[in-house]
Each structure stands twice: as structure tokens, then as C-alpha cells.
Amino acid sequence: MTATTVQPRTTSTPTTAVPRERRSVPPIGLGRVVSVELRKMFDTRAGFWMLMSIAILSVLATGAAILWAPDADIDFELFASAIGVPMSVVLPMIAILSVTGEYSQRTGLTTYTMVPRRGRTIAAKAIAAVLVGVASMFVALGIGALGNLLGSSIVGVPTDWNISVTEFSQIVLAQVLGMTIGFMLGVLLRSSAAAIVAYFVYSLVLPGLLMLLAGVQSWFADLQPWVDFNLASSRLYDQTMTGEYWAQLGTSGLVWLVAPLAVGLALVMRSEVK
């Protein structure tokens, strides 16, 4: 770009322009931000296939269960747990990327200038993530039910619908809590790679460490159930929740979810978006 490519115009500057009036502007409601954030989760190839992977993995897990599970084990619970494993990996990734994408792809520059109240955007992302989580669980429920029908008729056992509404709600809750951990890590770390690594450390490495600590330190053995969120939320899958179990889910959730999320939110509000 040099002066020779574009000749300066000698026309005088406009001085007669009338400043434009402020007009009333419709505010941005939370519902609208949620719908936009939902759209943003799946409007890229990566996002789209992430969503598709939920359905694909559910089908694969169902197929594997029919193929390899002992005939006597074919019941609804088998399919639920087979599908639950891939879901517990994919859903938190969706939650993580919905937050960290704004930073790693630098879209936050536009997002936070269109909606300067960052808390609103983060809240919308959280709601969108939970909606996706719950919807995915119903998709999985449908695929699992088909698998159960198909599997039991193939092997010739009576179809056993041994998952109650309560149990299903608990599984949904457990998956959503797993997503929320991913979301928290995304908000706290604001980097896709760091948050994904942290999620696997949290879900794969941490339980072993806490177990080890409880084994060698007697004072921690009593404390562990109250501060081990992995343990507390895994009970949602396979046990009847007692009052104490719910309380332990609450206290450990404070430690691993609420407190770090609060720190992360404070950082998001104050941090510079570059």
C-alpha cells in the first residue's frame, strides 16, 4: 500500500453531517444467547461430528454389548452402562470446547463485544451444555432401548426393562455433573488442551490418588467419601442413593465443582480478552 496506488482526494471533509440519534435498542435476552450458543456448539465440522459421535458411539456400544455380552446379562442395564462409558467422555469434551473455543479460536473478541456482560454468555453456555447433555441422554436411552429389544430377541431371552425412571434420572444427573466438571475446567483454564488434559487427570488419575491416600493415611480414609466427587457421583450409576450419599455428593461437589467454578468465573470476568 503506497501513496501511488490511491490518490488522496482533495474534496473537503463533510461538516454538515447531523449526528445520528440514539435509538432504543432491544436488549439481548438470555434465551437468545442460549440459542446462539447452542448453534455455535455444532456449526463447525468439529462440533458437528462431536455431536454425531454421541449417536455413533451409542450405536457401536450397543452393537458391542449384543455381540460380546453373555446372553444371561442382556438387559436394559447392560445397554445403559455400555452407552454410558463413551458418553461420559464425549459430553465433558463438548462442555469444555464450548468455553475454551472462545479463547483458543479467539472468537471471544466478537462474542464479548456483542454481549459485554460475560456472565450472561457463560451462563448461556452452561445452560446450552446441560440441554445438550440431557438431550443426548434421551437419544442414548432410545438407542439403548432398541438394543435391548434387538439383543433380547436375538439371543432369545425375555426383554428385561430393569431401569426405573429414578435410576435413569440419576444417570442423567451423573452425566450432567461430569459435563459440569468439564465446563468448570474450561472456565478455569480457558485453554482447550489444558482443560482436556485436566479433565482426564481429574477423572482417571485423581480417583487412584485419593484411594491411595485414604489407604495410607487413616485420617483421610474417613474424610475421603466427603471430598471425593468422582466417588460420590459414581454412586449415582449403581447404588440406591442414601441421604448420606447425597450429602457427600454435595460436600465433594462444593470442593471440586462450585469453588473452582467460582474462581474461574471471577477470572473470566476480569481477564483481558485478546
Partner 1 sequence: MITVESLTRKYGGFTAVDDVTFTARPGRVTGFLGPNGAGKSTTMRIMVGLTPATSGTALIDGARFVDLTNPGHEVGVLLDASAQHAGRTGREILTIAQRTMGLPKGRVEEMLDLVSLTPQEAGRRVRNYSLGMRQRLGIAAALIGDPRVLILDEPANGLDPAGIRWMRDLLRDFARRGGTVLLSSHLLHEIEVIADDIVVIGQGRIVAQGTKAELLAGAGTLVRTPDAEVLGRALAAQGVSCSAVDGGLRTDATPDLVGRVALGAGVPLTELRSGDGAGLEDMFLELTADTQREGAAA
In the complex, the residues that contact partner 1 under the rule CB under 8 A are 1-3, 5-6, 8-9, 13-20, 22-23, 25-28, 32-33, 35-36, 39-40, 43-47, 101, 105-107, 109-110, 112-117, 270, 272-274
- In the bound state with partner 1, the residue whose beta carbon lies nearer, of 109 and 197, is 109
State the Cα angle at 140 between 157 and 83, rounded to 5°: 70
- In the bound state with partner 1, the residue whose beta carbon lies nearer, of 111 and 152, is 111
**Cα 238 from chain centroid?**
21
Residue 274 C-beta: closest distance to partner 1, Å: 8
Contact 32, 128 (CB under 8 A): no
- In the bound state with partner 1, the residue whose beta carbon lies nearer, of 74 and 96, is 96
| Grid cell for residue 196 | 482436556
| Alpha-helix residue ranges (DSSP H) falling in 73-117 | 76-104, 108-114
Residue 37 C-beta: closest distance to partner 1, Å: 10
Residue 3 C-beta: closest distance to partner 1, Å: 5
- In the bound state with partner 1, the residue whose beta carbon lies nearer, of 2 and 218, is 2
- In the bound state with partner 1, the residue whose beta carbon lies nearer, of 3 and 216, is 3
User: Nearest CA to 239 among 189, 174, 175?
Assistant: 174
Residue 265 C-beta: closest distance to partner 1, Å: 16
Residue 136 CA to residue 180 CA, distance in Å, equals 15
Residue 238 C-beta: closest distance to partner 1, Å: 39
Residue 251: how many CB atoms within 10 A of its CB?
16
- In the bound state with partner 1, the residue whose beta carbon lies nearer, of 8 and 243, is 8
- In the bound state with partner 1, the residue whose beta carbon lies nearer, of 117 and 254, is 117
Using DSSP, state whether 127 is helix, strand or coil: helix
Contact 270, 190 (CB under 8 A): no
Residue 267 CA to residue 261 CA, distance in Å, equals 10
Residue 128 C-beta: closest distance to partner 1, Å: 13
Contact 186, 268 (CB under 8 A): no
Residue 41 C-beta: closest distance to partner 1, Å: 11
Contact 25, 31 (CB under 8 A): no
Residue with cell 482447550: 192
